[in-house]
């Protein structure tokens, strides 16, 4: 049974969720999870070191973006009486970020581009929203 077949069974049985259908959906969801996990783990084991390194660099980029966004927000807030909103993005540019075949595979894993059709639009932009209330920032 393919992942798509399992997803179709989940959709079929979730419309009426009574008695046995609840149990069937739970079984199908668990089976789907195991199949997806096995696909991801096959790729993850091969690239775990490079993914860890990427994660460290991304953490630094996010912290820098966070600090820059706060500085920008505070400067804008100090110069106007209007309510403002600050949006900040970390962009993973496919063309510039990829230097070799390993990076292509890692980018595909991170963006889920070939592993999950739900993300066909990509995950290049991760939005960060911040507005200021009384004495706190709402994220």
- Residue 52's pLDDT is 78
Backbone angle region of 60, left / alpha / beta, with phi > 0 → left and psi within -120 to 50 → alpha: alpha
Predicted confidence (pLDDT) per residue in 99-135, tens digit: 666 666 666 666 555 555 544 454 444 445 555 555 5
- Residue 129's pLDDT is 52
Encoded tokens for 30? 């668990």
Whole-structure pTM value = 0.41
Of 108, 99, 93, 97, the residue nearest 40 (C-alpha)? 108
* Residues linked to residue 89 through DSSP beta bridges, in sequence order: 127
- Residue 59's pLDDT is 82
| Contact criterion met (CB below 8 Å) for 112 and 44 | no
| Contact criterion met (CB below 8 Å) for 32 and 10 | yes
- Residue 138's pLDDT is 45
Stronger pLDDT, 86 or 120, i.e. the higher one:
86
Average pLDDT over residues 87-92: 70
- The full set of domain ranges for the chain reads 41-138
Encoded tokens for 129? 């929203």
Predicted confidence (pLDDT) per residue in 10-57, tens digit: 777 666 666 676 777 777 778 877 777 776 666 667 777 777 777 788
Stronger pLDDT, 78 or 9, i.e. the higher one:
78
- Residue 125's pLDDT is 47
Query: Sorting pLDDT into bands at 50, 70 and 90, what band is 137?
Result: very low
């Amino acid at each position: 049974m393919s992942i798509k077949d399992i997803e179709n069974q989940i959709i079929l049985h979730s419309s009426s969720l009574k008695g046995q259908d609840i149990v069937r959906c739970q079984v199908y969801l668990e089976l789907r999870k195991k199949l997806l996990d096995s696909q991801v783990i096959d790729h993850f084991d091969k690239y775990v070191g490079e993914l860890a390194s990427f994660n460290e660099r991304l953490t630094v980029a996010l912290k820098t973006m966070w600090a820059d966004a706060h500085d920008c927000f505070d400067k804008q807030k100090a110069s106007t009486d209007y309510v403002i909103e600050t949006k900040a993005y970390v962009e993973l540019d496919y063309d510039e970020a990829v230097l070799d075949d390993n990076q292509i595979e890692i980018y595909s894993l991170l963006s889920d581009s070939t592993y999950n059709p739900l993300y066909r639009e990509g995950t290049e932009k991760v939005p960060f929203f911040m507005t200021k209330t009384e004495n706190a920032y709402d994220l």
